[in-house]
Amino acid sequence: MTAIPQGRARRTVVVGAMCALVVTGTGLTGCSEDPDAGTNGVGKLPAATIQSKTRAAAASAHALRLSGNVVTSGRTYKLDMRLNGEGGSGSVTAEGTTFQLLRIGKELYLKAGADFWTQADGKGDDSDAAADKLDGKYVKVPSGDPAYKKFSGFTDKGVLLDGLLTLHGSLDTDGHHEQAGTRTIRITGDKGDGGTLDVSLEGQPYPLRLARAGGAGTLTFSAWGKDFPLTEPEKDETVDYGKQLPTS
């Protein structure tokens, strides 16, 4: 057996400890450890291939949770939605007002407080009476109402993911990172100007965090494949407003 000089042994221990600790906000750095060891391997692939694989994984998952902010048409929406192949449910906040959305198949319901409906319908005694009627109820959104197209998209897994999981410009990888305790590989469009997407290196290559191009919001994705119940509201909790909702 060959003896290891004491000084060299100390250096080996120190370097090993440093390698175990060198994890920064910009990813794993330094040392000779393979950051892709024990992962699903997508971290070694070109960025375009990673994007293709994460889109395919997202499409194949039956359910997920999506939360964060989306900026569209100059308005910021805060979302917290559970989505699956049949519909979705959750909350949306816009301009300080929060309302609930529930879609099962083609049926879309909106649930909000009286203040929401008063703002939507204007002022006056008739408005107050309508708002009281709709307060806390699941209001069925007519399919021909403009609100149906606008809000049903927030409950549609395919529509949301198709629109969100595309980075703009030339694609590249931007190191190894971590999202909620899960190791990720980050891909970017136009060095980040076209958006960034963190993709899981553990299990399926699901998207876990998206920063949209142009500061158009940041979203996190979780509970991939974990289904949840979508239940029709009781009749006494439901109001059929008619052909068109109040304009908001």
Q: Rounded CA gap, 116 and 93, in Å?
A: 11
Tens place of pLDDT per residue across the chain (248 aa)? 434 444 434 434 444 454 554 444 444 445 558 889 999 999 999 999 999 999 999 999 999 999 999 998 888 999 999 999 999 999 999 888 899 999 999 999 999 998 888 766 555 445 577 788 888 899 999 888 888 888 999 999 999 999 899 899 999 999 999 999 999 999 999 999 999 999 999 999 999 999 999 999 999 999 999 999 999 999 999 988 665 565 55
Q: Rounded CA gap, 120 and 245, in Å?
A: 9
- The residue type of 212 is R
pLDDT of residue 130: 72
pLDDT of residue 149: 87
**Residues of 44-63 as b/e, b for ≥16 C-beta within 10 angstroms?**
ebebeebbebbbebbeebeb
pLDDT of residue 241: 67
pLDDT of residue 13: 44
CA Rg value for the chain? 24
Whole-structure pTM value:
0.80
Instruction: Label the pairing between strands 23-24 and 207-211.
Output: unpaired
Burial (0-12, 13-18, 19+ Cβ within 10 Å), 242: exposed
pLDDT of residue 120: 60
pLDDT of residue 3: 43
